[in-house]
């Protein structure tokens, strides 16, 4: 298949130069290279600039509540494990409002790919500081500078149980597509944290700021959890690539009743008499 076959025809209203343009193309490319049938792919999202992304990809999509793309993705996957399920949201959606869902989804390890557009600010709501904003970040909700240190999504994902943990830089389209493709192919919960500037509202982390810090992992063993944590804890530089990957039991696989889509289940063998009795 070709990437253009995943183009819904809808036009994004993102600011000129927004990293989401690169991301939407990378997702289409990854799906095309994997030959995914658009009818068998579901992309859920939360609320935010990047959470509009399902509108622009010709698969099934579900724009949910703020911070809740993973809950919907989990429901979809458990209802029909034959589907390729992806969730997309921004750093505020993923690591703030949906932070609790994020760590418990890592722990459960369902077969879902999670892509987070990490620009360290809430863009759609006009520039409030987010969980990945640096300490001291001046914004409408922190006029004297934020007093909280930022979260470390990579360390969070590795320690709470995600089984594919990658970071990509939006200006490296090959790497971005490869990390997303690897995440979709991985059987288990995958995080691809995508670094990109918000040109409109984040004047601290601009393109040059990233360019001085971003580098590609080289000679790193993604099966080595300790080495992955060392890379995750690097703060002065920003390594990109596949930090960590492991094979582990996947949530849903060990639930025999969910073997196959729910619509194909034989409901005649289920006796609801006992459950219905108190309701009569
Ligand atoms: Fe992109 Fe920021 Fe504009 Fe939103 S506000 S579309 S994140 S550049």
- What band does 182 get if pLDDT is binned at 50, 70 and 90? very high
| Ligand 1: residue whose CA is nearest its atom 5 | 123
Question: For residue range 109-168, what is the model confidence (pLDDT) as tens digits?
Answer: 999 999 999 999 999 989 999 999 999 999 999 999 999 999 999 999 999 999 999 999
The reply to whether 246 falls in a domain is yes
pLDDT of 262 reads: 78
Average pLDDT value over all residues in the chain: 95
Question: Would you say residue 234 has pLDDT above 80?
Answer: yes
pLDDT of 267 reads: 77
The reply to whether 233 falls in a domain is yes
Q: In which domain, by residue range, is 204 found? A: 3-255
pLDDT of 223 reads: 98
CATH number at 135 reads 3.40.50.970
- CA 180/CA 184 separation, integer angstroms: 6
pLDDT of 272 reads: 86
pLDDT of 252 reads: 87
- CA 7/CA 30 separation, integer angstroms: 13
Q: How many domains does the chain have?
A: 1
The reply to whether 89 falls in a domain is yes
Ligand 1: list residues with CB < 6 Å: 14-15, 18, 20, 49, 119, 123-124, 198-201
The reply to whether 122 falls in a domain is yes
Candidate from 93, 198, 210 with most ligand 1 atoms within 8 A of CB, to mutate? 198
| Ligand 1: residue whose CA is nearest its atom 1 | 18
Q: Residue 108 C-alpha to ligand 1 middle, in angstroms? A: 32
DSSP the chain: --GGGGB-SPPP-PPTT-THHHHHHHHHHHHHHTT--GGGEEEEE-SSSGGGGGGGBSSEEEE-STT-HHHHHHHHHHH-TTSEEEEEEEHIIIIIITHHHHHHHHHH--S-EEEEEE-SEETTTTSEE-TTSPTT--BTTBTT---SPPP-HHHHHHHHT-SEEEEEETT-HHHHHHHHHHHHHSSS-EEEEEE---TTT-SSS-HHHHHHHEEE--S--TT-HHHHHHHHT--SSEEEEEEEE-----TTTT-GGGSS-GGGS-GGG---HHHHGGG-
- What band does 240 get if pLDDT is binned at 50, 70 and 90? very high
Q: Which residues touch 247 (CB under 8 Å, ≥6 apart)?
A: 163, 187, 188
pTM: 0.94
The reply to whether 265 falls in a domain is no
The reply to whether 84 falls in a domain is yes
- CA 59/CA 28 separation, integer angstroms: 10
The reply to whether 262 falls in a domain is no
Question: Would you say residue 85 has pLDDT above 90?
Answer: yes
Question: For residue range 1-55, what is the model confidence (pLDDT) as tens digits?
Answer: 899 999 999 999 999 999 999 999 999 999 999 999 999 999 999 999 999 999 9
Question: Would you say residue 101 has pLDDT above 80?
Answer: yes
| Ligand 1: residue whose CA is nearest its atom 3 | 15
Which two tokens mark 4? 């253009």
The reply to whether 260 falls in a domain is no
């Amino acid at each position: 298949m070709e990437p253009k076959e995943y183009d819904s025809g809808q036009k994004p209203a993102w600011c000129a130069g927004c990293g989401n343009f690169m991301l939407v193309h990378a997702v289409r490319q990854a799906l095309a290279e994997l030959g995914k049938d658009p009818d068998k792919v579901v992309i859920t999202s939360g609320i935010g600039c990047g959470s509009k992304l399902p509108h622009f990809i010709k698969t099934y999509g579900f724009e949910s509540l703020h911070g809740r793309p993973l809950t919907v993705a989990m429901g979809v996957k458990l209802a029909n494990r034959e589907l390729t399920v992806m969730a997309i949201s921004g750093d505020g959606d993923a690591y703030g409002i949906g932070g609790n869902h994020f760590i418990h989804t890592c722990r459960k390890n369902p077969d879902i790919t999670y892509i987070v557009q990490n620009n360290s600010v809430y863009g759609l709501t006009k520039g409030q500081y987010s969980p990945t904003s640096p300490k001291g970040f001046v914004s409408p909700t922190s006029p004297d500078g934020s007093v909280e240190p930022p979260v470390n999504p990579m360390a969070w994902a590795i320690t709470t149980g995600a089984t594919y943990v990658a970071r990509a830089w939006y200006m490296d389209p090959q790497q971005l597509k490869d990390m997303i493709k690897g995440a979709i192919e991985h059987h288990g919960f995958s995080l691809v944290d995508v670094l990109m500037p918000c040109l409109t509202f984040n004047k601290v982390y601009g393109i040059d700021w990233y360019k001085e810090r971003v580098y590609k992992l080289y000679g790193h063993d993604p099966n080595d959890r300790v080495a992955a944590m060392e890379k995750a804890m690097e703060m002065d530089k920003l390594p990109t690539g596949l930090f960590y990957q492991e094979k582990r039991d996947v949530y849903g696989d060990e639930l025999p009743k969910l073997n196959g889509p729910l619509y194909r289940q034989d409901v005649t063998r289920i006796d609801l008499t006992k459950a219905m009795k108190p309701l009569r």
